[in-house]
Every structure is written in C-alpha cells, then in structure tokens.
C-alpha cells in the first residue's frame, strides 16, 4: 500500500492497493443515529457516514495489508479515531459530504502511522471479518468479531465446529457467543 498526497488539492489517497480476500468491516457508533463504517474488500475501501436517515460514502483503494498486522493496525486506528469523531461531527454538523471526507482522510493518516495492537477495540466499536465456514460441504457465513482474546462468533450454526480459525497467516482463538436474553429486537 502506498499513501500519496495530491500536490494540488492536498487530499491523501491510496495507490497500489492491497488485495483483501475477506471483507472487513469496522464500525464506530457515535450515538443511535450517527455511525461511521469502514469496509475493506478486495482492492476497495469505503468510508460510510451514517447521519440520521442519510448515508454518504467515500470510495478509495484498500490500505489494509492482508496480514494479521494489517488487521491489528485497525485496533490502533479505532482507539485513536473514536474520540476524534465526536469532535469532527460537532465541528461540521451541516456538511455530511465534507465530514465523510475528513473522516476518511483522518483514517488514512492514522493507518499510515499505526502499529499493530493486540488489544480490545474501543467502546462502541466493532471490527468484523466476514468469513465462510465449511460444515458438511456447506458454506455458512459468520462474522468473526475481533477481541483481545481472538475472534467471537455469533452464528449458532457453526457453534462447536471450530476451536480456532486460521486467517491472515496465523491461528486465532475462537469464542462462541450466545445472543443475550436482554438484547433489544
């Protein structure tokens, strides 16, 4: 991945993007109506700002390396970015387009200097890998949610079929999570 800055408009963007075979989604919820979603798949990246009923997306090349370091860098980015987001949104309440661009630019700058961190993502933040698991020759989709102790899986179909999972060149622990009874529907 190479991050370049346009000499004319000073915006940063990704050239020579990395190929990401699994879809990774990092979502930061600011409140019930505002959230930011960063999605990485193949050679593409999108930053989507949810603003009440409105959505605005910025498309770019994928900066995340297809390795465990790449995924763990996202934890570091989320920890730095999450406190900044409220400030960005407060400063630009009327211009969703510009807000999405600023958030995207901030993400790129943070990712460029990030170091991998084996830590818990910050509050109200989820980092999920969309992955398919083969059981009896059937492929089942499951969302692997990144935590400090490995991945949490919510899909009850694949329960007890995996003890660990090999992704991004290393083996990760897997923990199955039952839906809590007080979950709002």
Partner 1 sequence: MAGTAIRQKETLNVVRCPCCGKYFVYRAVRVPTKVILAIAKTSDAAVVYEFQGNAMFLNIRWAKSFMKTLHKNPLRYDKTSLFRLIAAAHFVYEHWDKLIVLCTNIDQAKDVLLQLFLKGWAERRPVRRTLPAQSRLSVKSRVMGTPVLLIYAHNAFEVIGAEAVEVARKLLIHSQCRIRQKDDVVYLHTHAEVFGSLWPVRVVLAKSIWDVMLEWAL
Nearest-approach distance from CB 58 to partner 1, in angstroms: 6
Q: Choose, by CB under 8 A, the member of 2, 170, 173, 175 that binds partner 1.
A: 2
| Of residues 61 and 150, the one with the C-beta less far from partner 1 | 61
Q: Choose, by CB under 8 A, the member of 26, 38, 40, 60 that binds partner 1.
A: 60
Q: Choose, by CB under 8 A, the member of 21, 59, 118, 157 that binds partner 1.
A: 59
- The distance from CA 37 to its chain's CA centroid, rounded to whole angstroms, is 7
| Of residues 58 and 158, the one with the C-beta less far from partner 1 | 58
Angle between helix axes 96-113 and 68-91 (nearest 10 degrees) is: 140
Does position 7 interact with partner 1 (CB under 8 A)? The reply is yes
Q: Choose, by CB under 8 A, the member of 58, 75, 77, 133 that binds partner 1.
A: 58
Nearest-approach distance from CB 102 to partner 1, in angstroms: 12
Does position 16 interact with partner 1 (CB under 8 A)? The reply is yes
Q: What is the spatial distance between Cα 66 and Cα 21, in angstroms, rounded to a whole number?
A: 8
Q: How many CB atoms lie within 10 A of CB 154?
A: 15
Beta partners for 151? 146, 174
Nearest-approach distance from CB 109 to partner 1, in angstroms: 15
Q: What is the DSSP letter of 65?
A: -
The 3-state DSSP class for residue 36 equals: strand
Instruction: Spell out, one character per residue from 21 to 50, where the chain touches partner 1: x when CB under 8 A holds, - when not.
Output: -----------------------x------
Count the residues of the shown chain that bind partner 1, applying the rule CB under 8 A.
Answer: 17
- The distance from CA 140 to its chain's CA centroid, rounded to whole angstroms, is 21
The residue whose two tokens read 């694949």 is: 158
Polymer length of the chain? 185
| Of residues 15 and 91, the one with the C-beta less far from partner 1 | 15
- The distance from CA 91 to its chain's CA centroid, rounded to whole angstroms, is 24
Q: What is the spatial distance between Cα 51 and Cα 53, in angstroms, rounded to a whole number?
A: 6
Does position 17 interact with partner 1 (CB under 8 A)? The reply is yes
Say if strands 34-42 and 54-61 run parallel, antiparallel, or are unpaired. unpaired
Can you give the binding site for partner 1, defined by CB under 8 A? 2, 4, 6-9, 11, 13-17, 44, 58-61
């Amino acid at each position: 991945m190479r991050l370049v800055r346009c000499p004319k408009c000073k915006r940063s963007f990704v050239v020579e993007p990395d190929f990401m075979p699994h879809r990774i989604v990092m979502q930061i919820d600011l409140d019930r109506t505002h959230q930011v979603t960063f999605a990485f798949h193949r050679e593409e990246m999108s930053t989507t700002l949810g603003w009440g009923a409105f959505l605005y997306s910025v498309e770019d090349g994928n900066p995340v390396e297809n390795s465990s370091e790449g995924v763990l860098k996202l934890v570091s980015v989320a920890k730095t970015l999450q406190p900044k987001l409220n400030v960005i949104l407060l400063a630009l309440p009327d211009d969703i387009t510009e807000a999405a661009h600023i958030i995207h630019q901030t993400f790129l700058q943070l990712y460029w200097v990030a170091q991998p961190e084996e830590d818990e993502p910050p509050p109200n933040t989820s980092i999920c890998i969309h992955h398919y698991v083969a059981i009896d020759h059937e492929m089942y989709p499951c969302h692997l949610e990144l935590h400090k102790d490995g991945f949490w899986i919510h899909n009850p179909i694949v329960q007890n079929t995996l003890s660990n999972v090999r992704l991004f060149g290393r083996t990760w622990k897997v923990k199955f999570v039952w839906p809590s009874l007080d979950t709002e529907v």
